[in-house]
Amino acid sequence: MSALARYFHARKVHVSGYDRTPTPLTRKLEESGINIHYEDNIDLIPKDADIVVYTPAIPADQKELSYYRQHGYKVVKRSDVLQWITENSFNICVAGTHGKTTITTMVAHILRYTGYGCNAFLGGISANYQTNFWSSERNVCVVEADEYDRSFLKLVPDIAVISAMDADHLDIYGTAEEVEKAFIQFAKKIKKGGCLVSKHGMHRSTELKADFHYSYSFNDTAADVYAADIKVEHGGYRYDVVAKSWIIKNVILPMGGLHNIENSVAAITIAMHLHIDEEKIKGAVAAFKGVKRRFEYIVNNDKHVLIDDYAHHPEELRALITGVRSLFPKQKCTLVFQPHLYSRTNDQADGFAEVLSMADEVILLPIYPARELPIPGVSSEMIKEKMKHGHVVVLSKEHMITYMQQNKPGLIVMSGAGDIDALVPVIKDIISA
């Protein structure tokens, strides 16, 4: 949403908004001249608004949203606005239940770094440019396509990415099958002569069609494009990217997480499809600093490592922990996880328990409810009870901080999509003292 705010603000449109709590992101928006308030209060909203844009994070009974609806204002979703913006552009739309933010950011970075140019609407803050939006004279849009409530079906891609079709947002879709159906529909939205880049081996992947279709993988040689000869190097990786008709040798990715190698394969495939010079692509990947809260090193020294990550789905956590293990195989891994949504915790409790058991020590925070009301019997204790080892505790935020003060673990991973990121600076100060 903040990317759209920046887009309209840059075009001299008066923009204001609401958020639940102040964050570094909202402070940046305020510094740029955008008015933001943090209280659900109709006295604080502009009554002369031409259009009201909301995200699924806003509860249906939010007072301000209800006021605008009841008084006949034009109320639309983020996806509606993106549809308007991209109607007459060449669109690269990145979708998937996980991985899409990093891939979107990497694609946009490659296009910007190499001089190809693009307008970028990202779902996270690019560490290279400290923003989630930028514009270009080139009529190309790189857009993160959100599958929540089928919003991405309003977009019409020239190039599309599908990184995963795992069961998620079951409060909306009901079943995993319905999630898959939505992604199949998304692929059908690709323009004639367009291109699809999809993860190799996904269930029902044979139903994904496009005039140009490349499957990609971490290292499965059955895919159209994959990584080979992978080496750990300086907290990142060196590898080759191999396709049927080309190979790029010695790609350097200066960030952790084996899943990010796979993400880079998808991004590089798009760049090659656009006929961008190989050496320029390599230079762009080597300069990529990642996305805020995607395997982000907060501290990385001889005494302590602190990693912050947005992972909030079992498969995202699996990728995160596997990546941490690949880089720090001999260190005890303490993982702090804040479950996001009662519905997701209820639907995925078994998966969370299985994956979190891969960490040596787990601290579970209470569930971050976002837009939801509590579900009876659903709590972080639900995950704890299903875990395979006993090195797991459920702690309040305050008690977690006390634990860190007393123990100062050497390798800490903090993950979740709620407000756990507000605790990261606190933990950084503790282990850096």
Distance CA 344, CA 379 (A): 11
406: helix, coil or strand? helix
Distance CA 268, CA 276 (A): 9
Tokens matching residue 119:
């307008």
Scored b (16 or more CB within 10 A) or e, 332-363 reads: ebbbbbbbbbbbbbbbbbebbbbbbbbbebbb
The 10 Å Cβ neighbour count of residue 105 is: 31
162: helix, coil or strand? strand
Q: CB–CB of 307/297 below 8 Å?
A: yes
DSSP type of residue 341: -
| CATH of 86-286 among 3.60.10.10, 3.40.1190.10, 1.10.1740.10, 3.40.720.10 | 3.40.1190.10
Q: What are phi and psi of 69, to 5 degrees?
A: -65, -45
Q: Measured on CA atoms in the order 166, 237, 279, 122, is the torsion positive or negative?
A: positive
pLDDT at 59: 83
120: helix, coil or strand? strand
Greatest CA separation found in the chain?
61
pLDDT at 370: 85
pLDDT at 24: 79
CATH architecture, domain defined by 296-432 = Alpha-Beta Complex (3.90)
Instruction: List, as one string, the DSSP characters of 298-320.
Output: EEESSS-EEEEE---SHHHHHHH
| Residue 74 burial by Cβ neighbours in a 10 Å radius (0-12, 13-18, 19+) | exposed
Q: CB–CB of 63/137 below 8 Å?
A: no
Distance CA 376, CA 79 (A): 33
How far from chain centre, in Å, is Cα 100? 6
Distance CA 164, CA 210 (A): 17
Give the β-pairing of 296-300 and 305-309. Answer: antiparallel
Q: Does 296-432 match 86-286 at the fold level? A: no
Q: What are phi and psi of 44, to 5 degrees?
A: -100, -5
Closest CA to 125 of 117, 134, 116: 134
Tokens matching residue 221:
């040689």
Distance CA 168, CA 321 (A): 20
Per-residue pLDDT 10s for the chain (433 aa) are 788 999 999 889 999 999 988 887 888 899 999 999 999 999 999 999 999 999 877 888 899 999 999 999 999 988 889 899 898 999 999 999 888 999 999 999 999 999 999 999 998 899 999 999 999 999 999 999 988 778 889 899 999 999 998 766 666 777 878 889 999 999 999 999 999 999 999 988 889 999 999 999 999 999 999 999 999 988 789 999 999 999 999 999 998 888 999 999 999 999 999 999 999 999 999 999 999 888 899 999 999 999 999 999 998 999 899 989 988 999 999 999 999 999 999 999 999 999 999 999 999 999 999 878 899 999 999 999 999 888 999 999 999 999 999 999 999 999 999 999 999 999 999 999 8
pLDDT at 171: 67
pLDDT at 167: 63
Report how far apart, in Å, the C-alpha atoms of 287 and of each of 112, 114, 220, 290, 387 are. Answer: 12, 11, 26, 9, 39
pLDDT at 161: 97
Domain ranges of the chain: 2-80, 86-286, 296-432
| CATH of 2-80 among 2.60.120.620, 3.30.365.10, 3.40.50.720, 3.40.190.150 | 3.40.50.720
